[in-house]
């Protein structure tokens, strides 16, 4: 995977003993579980595989992704060999492949708002790939803003922007999204994934109000969300066909759910319907102009505008 980001966050910040302790605690929990997605031996093998590569070790420690590793996944070229079989599976055959496809659709949607003098923001920005890896040939006066609560991500975002020649036209802001306090500044605000960590509808409306307030009248919000998936095919065989929309085979889905559910117990699986998302955005003062899905009809992106 090619990258302009030279420093791998967290390298050296956790010793082997800590990771060994985390893995041992997970193994103990798996052995004591009444029910697992896969056989115990298979899940223990997957646990061992996660410890073989940096992304897997980060997932074990943090139960989710940060900006650096999100960029790593999105920049990965499918089929590129990896040092670990587990990592190759994760990058090529899990649902992360669908998230990578949605990232590309985000980039296409962002390009619609690139005009000379426009101010484009990303929150949480991570390393800011969504904005800095665009073509600004016809918009040399555009300005980019990255907002995140993680100082490491902001540092990497500045490094990333500078490597693309946008360092002097890129600002970063350390801020909690619920305490943003920005008024009528952005022509475009991109938010890919933050709402997936928040299950409280009231807090989601508050978040979207902050987004609306930060937009200029006529400004646009691009937002992703996770619609409720069907039950696993082994629990509801009559609905197994619905999983074909996600492009994942049943054995890979079992492995995916075992990894993110049984093993790391991921923290970011808040599901919400399109109808509820539309209602929350409307309550926040935004007008939905479109909801676009993948070719399979999943992984939506909302485009909403602040009325003039």
Domains in the chain (CATH in brackets) are: 16-94+231-263 (3.40.50.150), 100-227+270-305 (3.40.50.150)
Please give the average per-residue pLDDT across 177-196, as a whole number: 95
The residue written with tokens 């650096």 in the block is 68
Q: Are 71 and 3 in contact (CB under 8 A)?
A: yes
Q: Reduced to 3 states, what is the DSSP secondary structure of residue 176? A: coil
Q: Is the pLDDT of residue 132 over 70?
A: yes
| Three-state secondary structure call for residue 11 | coil
Determine the pLDDT at residue 268.
Answer: 65
Range with the lowest mean pLDDT among 7-16, 52-61, 70-79, 198-207? 7-16
Q: With 90 as the cut, is the pLDDT of residue 92 above it?
A: yes
Q: Among 79-83, 254-258, 263-267, 276-280, which stretch is predicted with the lowest mean pLDDT?
A: 263-267
**Region 162-185: what's the mean pLDDT?**
95
Whether 276 contacts 195, CB under 8 Å: no
**For the residues 85-101, what does the mean pLDDT come to?**
91
Question: b/e for 167-180, b at 16 or more Cβ within 10 A?
Answer: eeebebbebebeeb
> What is the average pLDDT across 254-274?
90
pLDDT at 266: 86
The average pLDDT across 267-296 equals 93
Q: Is pLDDT at 7 greater than 80 in this prediction?
A: no
Q: What is the mean pLDDT of residues 113-135?
A: 95
Mean pLDDT rounded to a whole number for the chain: 92
pLDDT tens-digit series, residues 33-77: 999 999 999 999 999 999 999 999 999 999 988 889 999 999 999
User: How far apart are the C-alpha atoms of 236 and 228, rounded to whole Å?
Assistant: 15
Nearest CA to 111 out of 220, 247, 218 is that of 220
Contact assessment for residue 280 and residue 201, using Cβ atoms and an 8 Å cutoff: yes
- The predicted structure's pLDDT at residue 15: 63
């Amino acid at each position: 995977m090619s990258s302009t980001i030279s420093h791998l966050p967290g390298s050296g910040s956790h010793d082997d003993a800590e990771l060994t302790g985390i893995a041992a605690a997970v193994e103990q929990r798996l052995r004591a579980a009444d029910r697992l997605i896969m056989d115990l031996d298979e899940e223990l093998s997957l646990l061992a595989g996660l410890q073989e590569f940096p992304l897997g070790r980060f997932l074990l420690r943090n139960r989710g992704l940060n900006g650096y590793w999100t960029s790593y996944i999105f920049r990965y070229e499918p089929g590129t060999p990896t040092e670990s079989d587990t990592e190759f599976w994760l990058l090529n055959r899990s649902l992360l492949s669908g998230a990578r496809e949605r990232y590309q659709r985000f980039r296409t949607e962002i390009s619609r708002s690139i005009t000379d003098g426009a101010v484009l923001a990303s929150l949480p920005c991570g390393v800011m790939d969504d904005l800095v890896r665009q073509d600004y040939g016809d918009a040399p006066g555009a300005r980019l803003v990255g907002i995140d609560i993680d100082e490491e991500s902001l540092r990497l975002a500045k490094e990333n922007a500078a490597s693309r020649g946008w360092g002097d036209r890129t600002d970063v802001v350390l801020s909690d999204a619920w305490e943003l306090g920005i008024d009528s500044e952005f022509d475009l605000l991109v938010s890919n994934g933050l709402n997936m960590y928040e299950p409280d509808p009231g807090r989601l409306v508050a978040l979207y109000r902050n987004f609306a307030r930060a937009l200029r009248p006529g400004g646009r919000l691009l937002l992703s969300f996770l619609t409720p998936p069907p039950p696993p095919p082994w629990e509801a065989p009559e609905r197994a066909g619905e999983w074909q929309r996600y492009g994942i085979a049943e054995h890979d889905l079992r492995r995916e759910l075992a990894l993110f559910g049984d093993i790391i117990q991921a923290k970011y699986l808040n599901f919400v319907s399109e109808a509820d998302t539309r209602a929350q955005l409307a309550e926040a003062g935004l007008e939905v102009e479109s909801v676009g899905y993948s070719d399979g009809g999943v992984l939506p992106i909302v485009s909403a505008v602040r009325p003039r």
